[in-house]
Chains A and B, each alone.
Chain A
């Protein structure tokens, strides 16, 4: 069972520059959450703060009842064993083969015999579709493969929390679809708490239970997927629809008058908010046994789909 992460009043700045302030949210145990935000709003910084790689100026991050912003270095290493993190480029160790990379956490933290390690590593490599690439070095494979290998390494210690830093950046749409399916399948299988940091809206619409949006140095909104997808908040609507009209400009922000004008133009012809159809959720693939949580989600999805068909 996953672990709940409780973030309260978190503020981070580098020197004079505030990255974000007063971020409070709770990532429910065992659920998939997505953190969205325009480029440069400190999504990756948020992720690194959650695992204690960066110290926030204020606020707390409670994981399994312990505030990791106040832990000593030694205890921090213990808490971090709960985490699996997929870094942007996989962050594989360049001098080791893929097999050794994935076996690394097992060799460092467990006293398992090599045959047992081999079994686990091959199982995880099979899961991410990397069988046959065991002896390749990270420099010899594509970015997509590096990401999948990084994911396999993050999974190998059976983490309770998995963080993904832009799993879809630099991947083609087909691979993104596969990766999203993999994330959903994994959630059904291992029941960990997931947090995905991304700016890919298509994934954000399909995959998560919860969505958060970082903009203008603060958390604009965090809540269940349905709430954000049907929200009237201009920033949320602009981002989730990937439009130019709205408060988010090319260089961070626009002036208020221009935003008003754009929104007025935009609102006129479109349907009333709320009536837009929800993107169907991505469900675990066939052959994956669904725990009760996913059974409930699946039946709810089927329900709403039936209703839509009936409406039409």
Chain B
């Protein structure tokens, strides 16, 4: 990666060009169902356990913070409402995205990068097969679908973890905690979180594929590509998250 400003521009231009190619190629038949299922299974298998394990302490931290904050403010009855909101709206899509990018995206990038430097991608193109259609689209779709499903998992585990820490460890009232669940949160929060997860999954998949397919310079190049793909994905994720959150608050009227 060159340090010149045009180099950075060219990189981002190419990345967006590939994202457009992926969108354009998506409806093309025949759909690579087999590759999609394999990849979805693969991404799910490398992300489910770490995601569940990360979301328990994540939910706990939020519960602890909110538990003490509400006590300080004298609003204990709202602790359930606040922790649900925090887990559902922000924590779960971000945790999902970090794990999809960190566990699934790196694997995708390393796999495609290794194929690239072994000339497999060139061989595929020479055999008249478009690697975007054959390899990238199934991977991007797989990471999107798995991100959406994982987001549900993280929400459940995070809320359960929050309940455990708030009610059992901080001696909260179970009834009040559960009853306040829906005072602030609403169904559109869940939809917004799922849409975020979908977009984050797409970003992770596209960046990982782009970096993998442009890997060069032997095994070291693959390592560099994986490294860069994680960094770029994380940066894009947080920017996109900010934008989507801002739009959400403008579009969806809030309760209370």
Chain A residues proximal to chain B, CB less than 8 Å: 48, 51, 53, 73, 77-78, 80-81, 83, 85, 87-89, 91-94, 104-105, 108-109, 150, 153, 157
Contacts and interface: CB of A to CB of B under 8 A. Distances in A.
Contacts, number: 55
Contact of A80 (B115, B118, B128, B134): B128
Interface string B57-92: 000000000000000000000000000000000000
A78 B125 CA distance: 11
25 contacts: A48-B122, A53-B122, A53-B125, A53-B126, A73-B130, A77-B125, A80-B125, A80-B128, A81-B128, A85-B123, A85-B126, A87-B119, A87-B122, A89-B118, A89-B119, A91-B118, A91-B122, A91-B123, A92-B123, A93-B123, A94-B120, A104-B127, A108-B128, A108-B134, A153-B127
A219 B120 CA distance: 29
Interface in B211-226: none
A157 B126 CA distance: 12
A80 B119 contact: no
A266 B44 CA distance: 69
Contact of A77 (B114, B118, B128): B128
Given A81-B128, A153-B123, 14 more contacts: A51-B126, A80-B126, A80-B127, A80-B128, A83-B126, A91-B119, A92-B123, A93-B115, A93-B123, A93-B124, A94-B114, A105-B127, A105-B128, A109-B127
A92 B127 CA distance: 12
B10 to A, nearest CB: 12
B129 interface: yes
Closest 3 CB pairs of A and B: A91-B123, A91-B119, A87-B119
B43 to A, nearest CB: 16
Nearest to B30: A108
Nearest to A93: B120
A104 B123 CA distance: 11
B127 A108 contact: yes
Nearest to B132: A73
A94 B118 contact: yes
B127 to A, nearest CB: 5
A76 to B, nearest CB: 9
A137 B126 CA distance: 21
Contacts of B122: 48, 53, 87, 91
Nearest to A87: B119
A94 to B, nearest CB: 7
A92 B126 contact: no
A53 B126 CA distance: 8
A87 B114 CA distance: 15
A42 to B, nearest CB: 16
Contacts of B129: 77, 105, 108
A87 B128 contact: no
A124 to B, nearest CB: 14
Contacts of B114: 94
Contacts of A94: 114-115, 118, 120
